[in-house]
Amino acid sequence: MEIIVRNENKKDYGRVEEITRKAFAYHERIERGGIGCPYEHWMVNELRKRDGILELSLVATVNDEIVGHIICSKAEVRKDGNILPVLNLGPISVLPEYQRLGIGKALINELILKAKDLGYGAILFFGRPEYYPQFGFVEASEFFISDSEGYNYDSFMGMELIPGYLSLAKGGRFYESDIYNDDLNRESVKKFDAEFNRALIFN
């Protein structure tokens, strides 16, 4: 099976949101999200409008069909009034029937290479602690960086793309794009998902 990773184009947007929804439409995740529907397809849609980095929105194809996607967005580490820009990774999605075939791996490896090429200093994000260490991600606590509330846990991870970059913000706190603010977005997500489903049914 040949996996090709390339940049996302405008004409891919609908398909990418569809596979994102499918990848995250499992019971445990929806329960945890507390909205009653998956929300990651809304995130991808919203990130393209604000804070998403389009050069780091990549799709994986097999036989010319998009089966996976990853995107990064702008985030920052704040420390004593200073701001260090970093990348936030995610969402990453692989269509359920294509999972565990190396597609996520191909997307993440390409993303790291591209982000380095573009000159970004570091990636920080929240994700599955059992999956990401294979790519070189370590707990953010190793860089002495905490979440926006001052906490650390194993699902908060990072990687320097430029060696020593995160030491510039040692002791700092990580802030993601405003789109991750649940209170702000709950209703937008529900509305987006309802319209998304209608569009799928009638297409």
Ligand X SMILES: CC(C)(COP(=O)(O)OP(=O)(O)OC[C@H]1O[C@@H](n2cnc3c(N)ncnc32)[C@H](O)[C@@H]1OP(=O)(O)O)[C@@H](O)C(=O)NCCC(=O)NCCS
Q: Which residues bind ligand X (CB under 6 A)?
A: 23-24, 92-94, 99-105, 127-128, 130-131, 134
CB of 155 to ligand X, least distance (A): 8
CB of 144 to ligand X, least distance (A): 23
CB of 44 to ligand X, least distance (A): 12
What does DSSP say about strands 173-175 and 65-79: parallel, antiparallel, or unpaired? antiparallel
CA angle 174, 175, 178 (to 5 degrees): 165
CB-nearer residue toward ligand X: 104 or 121: 104
Question: From CA 116, how far away is CA 72, in angstroms rounded?
Answer: 13
CB-nearer residue toward ligand X: 35 or 168: 35
CB-nearer residue toward ligand X: 89 or 166: 89
Query: Closest Cα to residue 41, out of 202, 201, 193, 197?
Result: 193
Name the residue number minimizing CB distance to ligand X: 104
Bond before 91 cis per omega within 30 degrees: yes
CB-nearer residue toward ligand X: 33 or 102: 102
Query: Closest Cα to residue 59, out of 24, 16, 23?
Result: 16
The first and second tokens of residue 124, run together, are 């920080």
CB-nearer residue toward ligand X: 84 or 94: 94
CB of 60 to ligand X, least distance (A): 8
Sign of CA dihedral 33, 92, 105, 147: negative
CB of 195 to ligand X, least distance (A): 22
